[in-house]
Amino acid sequence: MIKMKYFTLIFLILLAIFSSCESEKRIPPKGYLPNSGAATEQLEAAYFWIPQDKLSSPYWKDADFVEVEVTNQSTGNLYDDGFLNMTGTYNGLDDFNKGRNPKVVIKAGYDEENIYILVEWSDTTLNASFKSWLWDGPEDDFKSDTTSGWTSQRNQDNLLFLFEKEGSSDLDVWKWNVATTAPFDQAMNLTLSSNEFTNDSESEFFQRNISGITSRSGPAYEWNGERQEITLENGTKRLLDPSYYLLDDYKMDLIGDVNSGDNVFNNIADCRYCHGPNGNGIADGFTDGGSLNKVFTNKYSREGLVEFIGSTTHEGRGSQYWGRIKNNPEQVDDLVAFLRGIAGVPGNILLTPDNSAEVKAVSNVTVGGIETENSVYKVLFIRKLNTGKSSDVVFSPDQTYKFSIRLSDNDEINFIGATNLELTFNSKEL
Ligand code: HEC
């Protein structure tokens, strides 16, 4: 009798262990079908039943990956007049990531609704400026254009995926960019047709901040001094640094005359005595105001800037200089316009895009935006397998897709990348 009880008990325990294994086998706890975490020839998307939609989602540590061998795709192109120091990938691979291997790696997965593609690459610099306006900015080694007056300068990392579509020569393009799309956790959904990009979505990400029609007409707007906060689709709030970003709802007309401000700074108030001609600093260290042509002065509102310049901290050293103009509001406005111009006025106005945009893109880029050393960029693209739009490639797990990748640094016309990559989908079956 006792023996029987034991047998029953053991049987029940075994059954419990067995059935728990069974259920675990049917639903692995992590929510995806693991692959081996090895390098593969082509990109293989694993199946998820729990979305792996964060950079920290466990699948991305276990995933198979493709090491993309990037080559020069386009080099030696220069921009039009007025656009300087923006050809950071002029020599292609020799320039990208200071010539070191950018180690581009791609991983992928899918669930019933979405495709997920994670890209990682190394690039040591991070600068969220994009076509900033600079007054009397630096010269460009590749160009003989004059740099006096307004020019557009600075730029940053760009990443494009280009997918071939069956029965069409058009390419479906996802474009991610540090200065325009990264703050919104999105990418632009474009079509490349006969070398022309068009935006599939009604909602644009940015507009040029321009006061006229030529590439030297200068900025129309500056920051209005309020905290630039956006709320993302998932409710996260994000604060954007006014040194790099100008949000549509936080702009005002750029006031003051930059040309007169130049004269106030260099001659009338003689700020150059401590800050050097045009705020470029003084090399011999005789006086120590430091250079003012870095972006940091744009973190101040107009009032903040004026308050600082006239403060005892600063005025202790420069009071007799500020005192020459402080009671002349026009000269003060002109001076601030000049300070904005040498620090760089954001080149674009960010328009808050429609949250229903097709391509999501979460990245590890901190959009506070201080120019820092960065090591590895990570961008996770998420899009519906089928958006229902004819301009978008439809991903169906029983097919193979050809795609290319393009990367550029400080550039949108010279880039490195790889073509003829393939994407396949692993089976959903265990
Ligand atoms: C006698 C020297 C001197 C003169 C003249 C002078 N400054 Fe300065 N300025 C400094 C020093 C030193 C600093 C940095 C130390 C500090 O932050 O107080 C500084 C810092 C600044 C900053 C940077 C604030 C920051 O974020 O650190 C601004 C902007 C500035 N000065 C504007 C001006 C303007 C505009 C004038 C002309 C009206 C002027 N300065 C004249 C010495 C001077």
State the burial class of residue 198 (Cβ atoms within 10 Å of its Cβ: 0-12, 13-18, 19+): exposed
332 lines ligand 1 (CB under 6 A): no
Q: Which residue has the higher pLDDT, 248 or 310?
A: 248
Task: Please tell me the predicted confidence (pLDDT) of residue 228.
Answer: 94
Task: Please tell me the predicted confidence (pLDDT) of residue 303.
Answer: 95
Mean pLDDT across 258-265: 97
Ligand 1 atom closest to Cα of 335? 35
287 lines ligand 1 (CB under 6 A): yes
Task: Please tell me the predicted confidence (pLDDT) of residue 194.
Answer: 94
Separation of CA 309 and ligand 1 centre (Å): 6
Asked if 109 and 174 touch (Cβ cutoff 8 Å), the reply is: no
Using CA positions, which residue lies closest to atom 11 of ligand 1? 289
Cα–Cα distance measured from residue 406 to residue 104, given in angstroms and rounded to the nearest whole number: 11
Mean pLDDT across 69-94: 95
Ligand 1 atom closest to Cα of 296? 26
Q: Residue length, the chain?
A: 430
Residue 40 has a CB neighbour count (10 Å cut-off) of 15
Task: Please tell me the predicted confidence (pLDDT) of residue 24.
Answer: 46
Of 385, 396, 223, 388, nearest in space to 297 by CA: 223
Cα–Cα distance measured from residue 180 to residue 330, given in angstroms and rounded to the nearest whole number: 34
Q: pLDDT for 178-204, tens place per residue?
A: 999 999 999 999 999 999 999 988 788
Separation of CA 373 and ligand 1 centre (Å): 27
320 lines ligand 1 (CB under 6 A): no
Whether the per-residue pLDDT at 326 is higher than 50: the answer is yes
Using CA positions, which residue lies closest to atom 19 of ligand 1? 289
Separation of CA 85 and ligand 1 centre (Å): 27
Long-range own/partner contacts, residues 282-291 (CB < 8 A, 24 or more apart): 289/317, 289/318
Which pLDDT band holds residue 46 (cuts at 50, 70, 90)?
Answer: very high
290 lines ligand 1 (CB under 6 A): yes
Residue 80 has a CB neighbour count (10 Å cut-off) of 9
Tell me the longest C-alpha to C-alpha distance in the chain.
109
279 lines ligand 1 (CB under 6 A): no
Separation of CA 146 and ligand 1 centre (Å): 28
Give the range among 230-239, 324-333, 341-350, 364-373 with minimum mean pLDDT: 364-373
105 lines ligand 1 (CB under 6 A): no
Q: pLDDT for 113-139, tens place per residue?
A: 999 999 999 988 777 888 999 999 999
Cα–Cα distance measured from residue 140 to residue 354, given in angstroms and rounded to the nearest whole number: 37
Asked if 139 and 147 touch (Cβ cutoff 8 Å), the reply is: yes
Task: Please tell me the predicted confidence (pLDDT) of residue 22.
Answer: 46
Whether the per-residue pLDDT at 41 is higher than 60: the answer is yes
First vs last C-alpha separation in the chain: 43
Using CA positions, which residue lies closest to atom 21 of ligand 1? 289
Whether the per-residue pLDDT at 70 is higher than 70: the answer is yes
Using CA positions, which residue lies closest to atom 14 of ligand 1? 289
Hey, CA dihedral for 338, 339, 342, 346, is it positive or negative? negative
Quote the mean pLDDT of the chain.
Answer: 89
318 lines ligand 1 (CB under 6 A): yes
Task: Please tell me the predicted confidence (pLDDT) of residue 409.
Answer: 85
296 lines ligand 1 (CB under 6 A): yes
Q: How far is CA 95 from CA 85, 325, 408, in A?
A: 13, 45, 10
309 lines ligand 1 (CB under 6 A): yes
291 lines ligand 1 (CB under 6 A): no
Cα–Cα distance measured from residue 120 to residue 363, given in angstroms and rounded to the nearest whole number: 10
Task: Please tell me the predicted confidence (pLDDT) of residue 26.
Answer: 56
In a mutational test of the pocket of ligand 1, which residue from 241, 243, 268, 274 has the highest number of ligand atoms less than 8 Å from its CB? 274
Using CA positions, which residue lies closest to atom 38 of ligand 1? 322
Give the range among 52-56, 133-137, 320-324, 379-383 with minimum mean pLDDT: 320-324
Whether the per-residue pLDDT at 21 is higher than 60: the answer is no
Which pLDDT band holds residue 353 (cuts at 50, 70, 90)?
Answer: confident
Separation of CA 15 and ligand 1 centre (Å): 78
Q: Which residue has the higher pLDDT, 25 or 50?
A: 50
Q: pLDDT for 262-283, tens place per residue?
A: 999 999 999 998 899 999 888 7
Mean pLDDT across 327-346: 96
- The tokens for 324 are 């020459």
